[in-house]
Amino acid sequence: MSFSTGNIDQTGVILFGAGLAVFFLVLAFAVVVARSRSQLRHRLTSINQRHTGKVLRTAKKNVSVKRKTSYSSFDGFDRFLQRVIPRPAALRTRLLKTGKSISIGEYALANMAVAAVATYLVHRFSGISWAPSILAGIGVGLGLPHLVIGFMIGRRIKNFIALVPEAIELIVRGLKSGLPVQESILVVGREISDPVGVEFRHIADAIKIGTSVEDAMWATSARLDIPEFKFFVISLAIQRETGGNLTETLSNLADILRKRRQMKLKVKAMSGEAKASALIIGSLPFVMFGILLMLNGSYVLQLFEETRGIMLVGFGLFWMSLGFLSMAKMIRFEI
């Protein structure tokens, strides 16, 4: 199929040029900042040499006890990512939540690969020019890997929440048998399956190298950001400060977490009808479009041959998206 895309091409070229200009401005700003830092470092080194009369080894290479953070094994690509990624710490934390060893460099390469494939497919099958195809490919390249990472995080959190009560009850049985909290945590790491087991093994390893139980727990809680695990850490912290029967506290917490999960499942079952209605109503326009396209394709494709038709399609998709978001907000409950 082929579209008359004179107006589309002009708008796409303008948008692509504006995006490219913004990208190069950000890149230039990053280069200027890096160069100013390098000049400041060089000036401090020269002042040090002038006053001490000798060249320090740190003047040639800064030595730090902190491990150097790298995004990729390729030096040039690593320097490029360090300059263009705005919030690397947040991205790294998000990738760690998946439980997979995904580096920022691998994630960036996945974005580029998906963007390149999407650009080719859009240009090949839609018939529009390269400029809007590149814009669509960039959008898909940024959005699709983000959605995949979000799906992986959600699935891991779901599995973690399902196993947390069992882990707490195993700690309770260990405490009743006379084991200390550290040994009970190690037992959980060995006996409970992942993702709970691997996190408790990390906690046990941190305790072995001298980290306190509270610090190791809070570090894992900050990385996971799961309310059920935060309840467990808070219970341990409060019991250590105020005293009391730890086994009874953890038993009650395990029971509460099970009831909380049962309530979530009940809410999910009760909202299933609303979700099915939203799915059916939302899919009807696309189903009808497909039927009309098969019956009389030339009649339907007139929407994409003029700017007014494209604007109508865009407005329709916009309002449908608002409807989907409103219905999703109505059937989502915080427990």
Contacts of 200-207 spanning 24+ positions with Cβ under 8 A: 200/167, 207/182
295 lies in the same domain as 335: yes
Domain final position from 215, 246, 269: 269
Could you say which residues of the chain have pLDDT below 70? 1-82, 333-335
Of 41, 61, 81, the residue at which a domain comes to its end is 61
Residues 237 and 335 in one domain: no
Structural domain includes residue 218: yes
Residue 244, domain CATH: 1.20.81
Instruction: For residue 3, give the 3-state DSSP assignment.
Output: coil
The secondary structure of residue 62, as a DSSP letter, is -
In a domain, 19, yes or no: yes
Domain that holds residue 223: 157-269
Residue 80 confidence (pLDDT): 66
Give residue 8's pLDDT. 44
Structural domain contains residue 67: no
Helices 181-191, 196-208: axis angle to 10 degrees equals 140
Cβ proximity of 220 and 188 under 8 Å = no
What pLDDT is attached to residue 4?
A: 44
Pair 319, 287 in one domain:
yes
Residues 258 and 173 placed together within one structural domain of the fold: yes
One domain, residues 246 and 297: no
Residue that finishes a domain, picked among 249, 269, 289? 269
Q: What is the pLDDT of residue 3?
A: 43
Same domain, 245 and 225: yes
In this structure, are 243 and 188 located in the same domain? Answer: yes
Q: Is 134 contained in some domain?
A: no
Q: How far apart are CA 284 and CA 310, in angstroms?
A: 19
112 inside domain: no
Measured CA to CA, the distance from residue 138 to residue 177 in angstroms comes to 58
Q: Looking at the structure, do residues 258 and 293 belong to the same domain, yes or no?
A: no
One-letter identity of residue 330: M
Q: Which residue has the tokens 């960039």?
A: 138
pLDDT at residue 283, as a whole number: 85
Asked whether residue 170 falls in the same domain as residue 258, the answer is yes
**pLDDT at residue 147 in the model:** 92
Same domain? 185 vs 265: yes
- DSSP letter for each residue of 284-322: HHHHHHHHHHHH-HHHHGGGGTSHHHHHHHHHHHHHHHH
How many structural domains comprise the chain?
A: 3
As a whole number of Å, the CA-based R_g of the chain is: 28
